């Protein structure tokens, strides 16, 4: 297998980020994983959790996730519950699905996050006792059936406060600079000229 890899390991060796696009990639939906981010409790241990970001994930969301991880004194363990993610999204106008309250969508129904069963292929977590792990998934599908623009998966042990940092960035109303827009996003975005 050939890989295109770039690895960053934090000075404490407890957290790392890896850009990886192998010939046989892990797929999230139909999108290949581009970034993995992991953390462990001590220098000799295995990863306690891993977050997976496909190609196309807004770079601001990955950056904010990484900044939140860097700021944590204990990168491997989380103490907040999933309510933190739900509250973060609700504060920014996202709503829970009436039929499935574990799913939260933006007002245009173009992006969403869900807490539930994770894909079986390739998602690794440090909790070896979890037989049916549940974790967070996020996606953007501006037109139903047109395919995902991007996807992200957070393994079951990923601290909820880190997922909330990703969610806050994703749901932020602040404008971001883009040179090109995906065709499927027409009519879904608020555009402002840069001056």
Q: How many C-beta atoms lie closer than 10 Å to residue 56's C-beta? A: 16
Instruction: Enter the tokens of residue 179.
Output: 């040179």
Report the C-alpha gap between 42 and 46 in whole angstroms.
Answer: 8
Domain ranges of the chain: 5-172
pLDDT tens digits for 31-90?
Answer: 989 999 999 999 999 999 999 999 999 999 999 999 999 999 999 998 899 999 999 999
Residue with tokens 């970001």: 53
Q: Which of 191, 10, 188 is nearest to 107 (CA)?
A: 188
Report the C-alpha gap between 52 and 33 in whole angstroms.
Answer: 6
Considering the entire predicted model, what is its pTM? 0.89
Inform me whether the pLDDT recorded for 180 exceeds 70.
no
Q: What is the DSSP letter of 141?
A: -
Inform me whether the pLDDT recorded for 1 exceeds 60.
no
């Amino acid at each position: 297998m050939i890989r295109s890899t770039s690895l960053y390991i934090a000075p404490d060796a407890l957290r790392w980020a890896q850009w990886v696009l192998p010939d046989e990639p892990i797929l999230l939906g139909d999108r290949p994983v581009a970034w993995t981010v992991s953390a462990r409790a001590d220098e000799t241990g295995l990863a306690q959790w891993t977050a997976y970001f496909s190609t196309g994930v807004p770079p601001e969301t990955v950056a904010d996730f990484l900044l939140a991880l860097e700021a944590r004194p204990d990168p491997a363990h989380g103490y907040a519950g999933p309510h933190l993610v739900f509250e973060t999204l609700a504060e920014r106008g996202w709503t829970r699905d009436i039929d499935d309250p574990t799913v939260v969508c933006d007002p245009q129904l173009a992006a969403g996050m869900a807490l539930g069963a994770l894909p079986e292929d390739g998602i690794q977590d440090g909790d070896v006792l979890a037989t049916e792990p549940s974790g967070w998934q996020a996606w953007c599908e501006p037109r139903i059936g047109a395919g995902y623009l991007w996807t992200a998966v957070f393994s079951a042990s990923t601290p909820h406060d880190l997922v909330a940092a990703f969610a806050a960035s994703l749901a932020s109303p602040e404008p971001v600079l883009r040179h090109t827009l995906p065709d499927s996003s027409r009519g879904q975005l608020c555009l402002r000229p840069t001056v």
